[in-house]
Chains A and B, each alone.
Chain A
């Protein structure tokens, strides 16, 4: 059994921090750590809370050690795991499998709410360390400015490594969402993603897609293999049993891994609420300048927006259900500026999430086709 000094060292907390947390002098804490003086009884629980050192180690004379291996009442009485707890455990398990078996894993970070949850889970999975993989953001250069600001802040706060990838060739050719429609998505997102994965040599990439989003996603495995050209073959997916994932790949193959496969949109929001996960403010309603464009309400995020003739940007209280390239992302009129209100609005609403994205509208099989070609 380790002594108290070792336990304090392992807790990773400095004596000064402990002193601050419990409102005593650093000298006093030093005496506790060295065993020169006992921790006052009224402070034991505070110290336990802050350092994680169990009370029976801090004051063995006051707190009896719980019987080892006896299942105590608290464990038996605790409620069944909730669906969110089970989903969380599953996602973390998936991430750890990838970390253990992949050669060069990467997490696709697209700044939206699903990415926010995925990142939060990755931080949990490897705490107190950092996730053993970098983040990758494929930037089309048409993302909302607030998204990029949020991204940079988040990465800084968490102390993570992020690679940004922009298809420079597409920029040089002046590819933009106004003139190039479907080709824009293909060149600036799909092709850019493939190029980024090839450039860095990533063999496994996490994506935040969920099975409830769209019909062909509902059929996709959690570990989804891509042939050397990043193509998906829906007819020859590997069987995926229990939580045993076969991560062995053939030469040139890569794997897309979807740890949020079994989450629904409501689960995502509920988890963000429960865990207080930071999200881009664009999800909350605020007065923002908008125009009607392509049958959608589009925010004028910068001077590049092509405002249709006869329209002027109008200030409306709007928010976004999904975030992407601003000219392609439809806003909804809303007053919801708290998380519960957003969730309420989502549950009472009668259109599905992806409707705000122009990409899915073409045909029922469009997403399957896009994915076969390498779209995430």
Chain B
């Protein structure tokens, strides 16, 4: 710092020049609660003189008020910024801090130790080059140490600093240090971490942080800060194949059309041949620029590229080099970190965002989840919050991708809940499953329009949803009788009946309910292919699955009929005696009692059965179908 300060006061221009050339290192600190993460960061900021006097005065006052360190400064208070954190003395969310030395600029993500905030830890880790994993020398390797090491490895961090902290409390014992290091290496051998450096330290006392400590003469390595200044990160390989996800098509006028994005790998220059993926069209780069033309651009830069030819290219496509083309698929094996209170259910559809592309996706199989303490594989039907699983994923359309190991930007994705819009998972792609290419669609000569036309009708699905006892089947039966009288060809899929046959292997867990609806949706679709009007009478409690069924059919051929009966009324009717059993606890997962019912937000038809007789309700449905022109002949 001193040489830097000299230059600062004597030759500011030279100082600025020097500072401008600094590289950037992003790291995270993680580990268990009370291992001293926040204290370590506070110490780094303090020792690199990034704390201003007024902040220091406020810190001293706060430290005395909180009284955690007696009369000494509590560095953790510098970092824990949310009121709840300061009250509870824990870190809830990632805090980003900034400091610089003569050699490098640093962005630190201080990540929470508590298991329920794992998703915040992953948020911090996803952009880090190095992970500092703290261990309390008195307690050794703990669950959180293992969890965070595994997560760090999972998001692609290869450099780890094992900071064995609070050495002052174990008399700077080399034996303790060696034992913990041994334990850790034993565990870490199962992970893909490449460069693990262990440092004995005391963040509170300042041992081996910025300078080598006299208290650990047996330690031959560098203090933490020197290590961070010099550690080699996997710098972006400029010889790698070019990748740029297209974020934005820049078309300010007729004469200009450019493709904007952040280069994810390799380099690009005018004259290079590039391919637009997934379409595969090729062209030559005519210009590379930002606010002026550039002779070339490399990974990590945001640029705009224009091409020689008018090729079709839009947001979500990827511009790639031709030597090592990117893969394209709609089926993947992936690892998923689940981050939402609502568990992940195979079969439910989510939105997947990869690069600038967002597509509908669903987990087709959960192969196993991972016990992060032992790295054991455990069979499971769902993934709960903070659980990690190996899954097969199926997308509604093919996307361009790389394996995550090869590139974080083109191989990492998030999953978004389609109704709450929350980010529910982070995932990494391992490889494409070839199945998609191996099953071909059999082209049909007689198609669905032809089959419906032969019956002189329009095929569609009437999807009745509502609580048990709402009156779905009663009303559906009347409607089908009316259709029959009108000369229409129809069929009925009833929840109870289907569960006796096709779906007799399914129970009533959330996961089984999703699969139940998926199968019924597919069957209904096949029957409309055959030209039939299909009446589906299912409780179908979840919005996601009804949406999924809707999307199986062409626009306008899926009509959601909400039989709206309040729970109290349905329970009062209780035609099958099921509510009574559920209330006595004899039926688990009963919709409305012990399992939720998500009412439709915008059904095509809504019927209030407290105000209508079943006959009136059925008549309203027939009216609605006529208004929509669905009861006319196929040709009209």
Contact = CB atoms under 8 A, between A and B. Distances in A.
Contacts of B287: 52
A123 B291 contact: yes
B81 A218 contact: yes
Interface stretch (B191-199, B365-373, B419-427, B558-566): B419-427
Interface stretch (A29-37, A126-134, A187-195): A126-134
B82 A130 contact: no
A160 interface: no
Contact of A75 (B98, B248, B267): B267
Contacts of B127: 242-243
A254 to B, nearest CB: 13
B21 interface: yes
Interface in B233-280: 235, 238-239, 242, 247-248, 250-253, 255-256, 258, 260-262, 266-267, 269-273
A312 interface: no
Given A83-B22, A341-B12, A10 B286 contact: yes
Contacts of B272: 68-69
B81 A219 contact: yes
A89 B421 contact: no
Contacts of A295: none
A66 B126 contact: no
A304 interface: no
Interface in A209-228: 211-212, 214-219
Contact of B96 (A74, A83, A261): A261
Contacts of A241: 122-123, 126, 412, 414, 423, 426
Contact of A240 (B8, B123, B255, B351): B123
Contacts of A82: 20-24
Nearest to A237: B93
Q: How large is the interface on A (under 10, 10 to 19, 20 to 34, 35 or more residues)?
A: 35 or more
Contacts of A237: 93, 120
B62 interface: yes
A235 B92 contact: yes
A52 B96 CA distance: 40
A270 B53 CA distance: 23
Contacts of A92: 262, 290, 302
Contacts of B95: 215, 218-219
Interface in B45-82: 52-55, 58, 62, 78-82
A89 B297 CA distance: 11
Contacts of B86: 364-365
Contacts of A172: none
Contact of A127 (B24, B255, B304): B304
B298 interface: yes
Interface residues of B, number: 103
B298 to A, nearest CB: 7
Interface stretch (B315-323, B467-475, B524-532): B315-323
Interface in B2-55: 8-9, 12-13, 15-16, 19-24, 52-55
B119 A218 contact: no
Contacts of A248: 351, 416, 421
A340 B12 contact: yes
A361 to B, nearest CB: 10
Contacts of B94: 219
Contacts of B96: 211, 218-219, 261-262
A96 B81 contact: no
A4 interface: no
A278 B318 CA distance: 36
Contacts of A264: 98
Interface string A352-364: 1001000000001
Contacts of B296: 72, 74-75, 78
Interface string A64-99: 011011011011101111111111111011001101
A52 B262 contact: no
A252 B266 CA distance: 41
B52 A352 contact: yes
B273 A68 contact: yes
A99 B52 CA distance: 37
Interface string A117-158: 000000111111110000000000000000000000000000
Contacts of A235: 82, 84, 92
B260 A1 contact: no
A56 interface: yes
A348 B10 CA distance: 12
A341 B16 CA distance: 11
B339 interface: yes
B300 A85 contact: yes
Contacts of B267: 71, 75
Q: Which of B78, B289, B422 has the most CB of A within 10 A?
A: B422
B62 A246 contact: no
A309 B308 CA distance: 72
Contacts of A9: 255
Nearest to A355: B54
Interface string A258-294: 0001101010001001100000000000000000000
A248 B119 CA distance: 19
B75 to A, nearest CB: 13
Nearest to B287: A52
Interface in B102-152: 105, 107, 119-120, 122-123, 126-127
Contacts of A347: 8
Contacts of B293: 52
A307 to B, nearest CB: 27
B356 interface: yes
A249 B260 contact: no
Interface centre among A87, A129, A355 (most CB of B within 10 A): A129
Contacts of A10: 255-256, 286, 306
A56 B248 contact: no
A41 B266 CA distance: 33
B153 interface: no
A85 B120 CA distance: 27
A148 B82 CA distance: 35
B295 to A, nearest CB: 7
Nearest to A210: B98
Nearest to A265: B98
B489 interface: no
Contact of B13 (A81, A261, A340): A340
B41 to A, nearest CB: 11
Given A9-B255, A100-B315, A249 B421 contact: yes
Given A219-B94, A239-B339, A270-B19, A100 B416 contact: no
B52 A81 contact: no
B97 interface: yes
B251 A129 contact: yes
A81 B300 contact: yes
A182 B11 CA distance: 42
B260 A96 contact: yes
A251 to B, nearest CB: 10
Contacts of B83: 365, 368-369
B463 interface: no
B353 interface: yes
A371 B442 CA distance: 58
Interface of A: 1-2, 7, 9-10, 12, 52, 54, 56, 65-66, 68-69, 71-72, 74-76, 78-90, 92-93, 96-97, 99-100, 123-130, 211-212, 214-219, 234-235, 237-244, 246, 248-250, 261-262, 264, 266, 270, 273-274, 340-341, 343-344, 347-352, 355, 364-365, 368-369
25 contacts: A1-B284, A10-B255, A72-B269, A74-B296, A79-B21, A93-B262, A126-B260, A211-B97, A212-B97, A214-B81, A215-B80, A215-B81, A218-B97, A219-B95, A234-B93, A235-B92, A243-B127, A248-B351, A262-B96, A270-B20, A344-B8, A349-B52, A351-B52, A352-B55, A364-B62
Given A100-B356, A239-B339, 18 more contacts: A10-B286, A68-B271, A69-B273, A84-B20, A88-B302, A92-B262, A93-B262, A100-B315, A128-B250, A129-B256, A216-B81, A235-B92, A244-B355, A264-B98, A270-B20, A340-B13, A343-B16, A352-B54
